[in-house]
Structure 1
Amino acid sequence: MTAYIEGGWTVRRIGGAMTSLVTPFKDGVLDHVALMAHVEWQILNGIDGLVACSIAGEGAVLTMDERTKVIATCVEVAEGKVPVIATSGTNCTATTIEETRQAAALGADAALVTLPYYSKPTQKGVIHHFERLAASTDLPLIVHNLPSYTAIDLAPATLDSLAAIPSIIGIADGTGDIGRISAWRSQLPERISLFSAHDPTASTAALSGAQGAISAVANVAPRLFSAMQHAAAAGNLSAVFALSERLLPLFQALSLESQPATVKQALHILRDMSSDVRLPLVGVDPATDAMIREALLSAQVTYKRHCPPADIHRLG
């Protein structure tokens, strides 16, 4: 993976199709074998990056020991083929620093840091949060803007302040507002990449100038999602539209209930991965399960089932 030097920072190139990985559980316990198989399968199917311990990975309900195992497993299995990005944002600056330092020590290439949720800080508080974090760790940072979860949004003036922090290398926006991509692109320096964190508009964001997308649906259809992002980056509109139309039923079905419950149900249907989620999340309703099955058929997503990790290379 190509690296570049920017402002004194050596950063593994981050972009393209990045999977917001689910965390497999079995009887309530982290399923290490299933995680290894899933990570390797993602890489073999063309994914450009792995995001660990995110919302899709139930990061908020993982213990520190589980976080360590998940991040370490991703780094170990990736073997430098693709960057590993560890999610570390919380509503506590001290805890965010601790989790980001942990990710750096485990070999993560960057941290995805969600704006502090629940506390609803002012824009000034957001700026100080990231300034303190950047002063406490050398790990490159990607700011994750997700107002539907955090109840706060980035203001244009805040972007200017964040752009002045050298270790911030990207901003991932989960609003689905495509107008932001072009507006923010003109406002931010070239060294800061823009990423989509909204599956239904990921291809449009790429066509509008985003350098990549962080996707939960890519857990289920990594090859299709990766092909769509690469086609968008190349400006191949006919391929983008065809792939987007094929993926649309999945985007819709996997949004019927909370992710990752829907994503895990899809993986359970296709690959026998456990659909277990931790409370307060619960498994999907039967009606949602039926919609997911229908969407998988419509998208023509198929996998070889009952495939042990040793046979993972046979997957198509």
Structure 2
Amino acid sequence: MVSLSYVDEDYAVPLEQEREMRMRGRLSNIRTATALATPFDGAGIDRAGLMTAIDRQVLAGVDGVIVCDVTGEGYSLTDAERDIVLSTCLEQAGGRLAVIAATGTYGTARSIALTQRAQQLGADGLLVTVPYYSKPTKAGVANHLRSIADATHLPIIIDDDPQRTVIEGGATLLSALMDVENIVGIRHGAGRLLAFVHLDPVLRRRYHHYCGDEVDVPAFLACGGHGVVSPAGNLFPFLLAAMGRGFPGASARFAQQMAALLLATGGQWDASAIKAAGAILWGSADAVRLPLVGIDAEMRDALQRLLASHEAPVEECRSPVVA
């Protein structure tokens, strides 16, 4: 027999369904989410490092984290490791922020399996990419996402990044999925600012729109974007949270930080560069898995000079971390 949250037979809601309803509402209120880097140690997943990273996000006031996406090197994780990452983050977060699992792949059946496992483990929501590599038609992409949504009650944010997928989702895709209630948002990838600005007002209102391109964040928010999903939160979560809350000057400060970091890394902005900067700031693990390799000595020196400077654009990151 299903446990009920209260006993009025006309209005009783199963506890699990009630939780999912709350989480969907909570996910819709997310304005900032960090695409979390996955720390590795000699044994696999560095659980202690992962717990510290979650505490840092909570202390900063970030609304949520994305786990096991590209920044989290999800493509290199075994199913058991994905379980460890998601379970550890959920346990450490303890409801203090939303934990969103990236479960999309280029195959529908595999994506559904990952989605259902994430739901089973208690994920608060899902980030599902437009299929990459397989190059489906637009109808195929829509059916792929619809099938995943039908397999879960969790809220879904679409990850639309044509630079990675070589497929443009955009307005056509959003229009095709208007009736799928648990597809609640979209993360717009690099170079998608104009596509967002020119969206039909109906589509602007129907979905929550998140910027996934750090360079475009100030303009994206100024043009009515709902929020930001960014790996930059690994390095300056306090500023990311401040920007999401509309603090004066936060967007400009964010742009300055990103410009300095991109200059120091020669435009490289992947898990290797993010982890290297994190190691300098926090002493966290910087190991990556193939096909990624660690940054070279020249880039590491540039980051070291930048982050050690009194004018370092990420000095706010040095705030204390919850033990």
TM-score by length of 2: 0.86
Tell me if the contact between 1:84 and 1:109 (Cα under 8 Å) persists in the aligned partners.
yes
How far apart, in 2, do the equivalents of 1:7 and 1:225 lie?
Answer: 27
> What residue number does 1:163 align with?
178
Matched, 1:124 2:135: no
Moved more, 153-162 or 193-202: 153-162
Tell me if the contact between 2:23 and 2:125 (Cα under 8 Å) persists in the aligned partners.
no
> What residue number does 1:308 align with?
none
> What residue number does 2:116 align with?
101
User: Aligned-pair distance for 1:260?
Assistant: 0.3
> What residue number does 2:25 align with?
11
Secondary structure in 2 matching 1:277: coil
User: Aligned-pair distance for 1:156?
Assistant: 2.4
Secondary structure in 1 matching 2:101: strand
> What residue number does 1:313 align with?
322
User: Relative to structure 1, is the Cα distance of residues 264 and 243 closer, same or farther in structure 2, using a 3 angstrom cutoff?
Assistant: closer
How far apart, in 1, do the equivalents of 2:262 and 2:221 lie?
Answer: 17
Secondary structure in 2 matching 1:283: coil
Q: How many residues matched? A: 302
> What residue number does 2:244 align with?
229
User: Relative to structure 1, is the Cα distance of residues 278 and 246 closer, same or farther in structure 2, using a 3 angstrom cutoff?
Assistant: closer
Tell me if the contact between 1:51 and 1:87 (Cα under 8 Å) persists in the aligned partners.
yes
Tell me if the contact between 2:20 and 2:154 (Cα under 8 Å) persists in the aligned partners.
no
| CA deviations over 1:21-53 (Å, ceiling 9, x no partner) | 000001261101110011111110121111110
User: Aligned-pair distance for 1:230?
Assistant: 2.3
Q: Which amino acid aligns with 2:54?
A: V
User: Relative to structure 1, is the Cα distance of residues 125 and 86 closer, same or farther in structure 2, using a 3 angstrom cutoff?
Assistant: same
Q: Which amino acid aligns with 1:293?
A: Q
> What residue number does 2:205 align with?
190
Larger Rg: 2
User: Aligned-pair distance for 1:189?
Assistant: 5.9
Q: Which amino acid aligns with 1:177?
A: R
Secondary structure in 2 matching 1:313: coil
User: Aligned-pair distance for 1:291?
Assistant: 2.3
Q: Which amino acid aligns with 1:95?
A: R
Secondary structure in 2 matching 1:163: coil
Matched, 1:211 2:211: no
Mark the runs of 5 or more structure 1 residues left unpaired by the alignment. 306-310
Matched, 1:154 2:169: yes
Q: Which amino acid aligns with 1:274?
A: A
How far apart, in 2, do the equivalents of 1:11 and 1:77 lie?
Answer: 21
How far apart, in 2, do the equivalents of 1:228 and 1:169 lie?
Answer: 22
Tell me if the contact between 2:235 and 2:314 (Cα under 8 Å) persists in the aligned partners.
no
| CA deviations over 1:135-164 (Å, ceiling 9, x no partner) | 211111111001111111114222200222
Matched, 1:176 2:191: yes
What is the Cα-based RMSD across aligned positions, in Å?
2.6
> What residue number does 1:285 align with?
296
User: Aligned-pair distance for 1:94?
Assistant: 0.3
Matched, 1:139 2:154: yes
Matched, 1:70 2:85: yes
How far apart, in 1, do the equivalents of 2:314 and 2:102 lie?
Answer: 31
Partner of residue 272 from structure 1, selected from 276, 283, 289: 283
Q: Which amino acid aligns with 1:287?
A: E
How far apart, in 2, do the equivalents of 1:115 and 1:199 lie?
Answer: 20
Secondary structure in 1 matching 2:163: helix
How far apart, in 2, do the equivalents of 1:82 and 1:9 lie?
Answer: 11
Mark the runs of 5 or more structure 2 residues left unpaired by the alignment. 1-17
User: Relative to structure 1, is the Cα distance of residues 284 and 144 closer, same or farther in structure 2, using a 3 angstrom cutoff?
Assistant: same
Equivalent residues in 2 for 1:256-271, closer than 5 Å: 256-257=267-268, 259-271=270-282
Partner of residue 42 from structure 1, selected from 54, 57, 75: 57
How far apart, in 2, do the equivalents of 1:185 and 1:48 lie?
Answer: 27
How far apart, in 2, do the equivalents of 1:246 and 1:304 lie?
Answer: 14
| CA deviations over 1:177-230 (Å, ceiling 9, x no partner) | 322223236141634100011112122211111111111111011112222332
**Structure 1 stretches of at least 4 aligned residues deviating more than 6 Å after TM superposition:** 4-9
Tell me if the contact between 1:178 and 1:208 (Cα under 8 Å) persists in the aligned partners.
no
How far apart, in 2, do the equivalents of 1:240 and 1:80 lie?
Answer: 27
User: Relative to structure 1, is the Cα distance of residues 303 and 262 closer, same or farther in structure 2, using a 3 angstrom cutoff?
Assistant: same
Secondary structure in 2 matching 1:159: helix
Partner of residue 315 from structure 2, selected from 272, 285, 301: 301
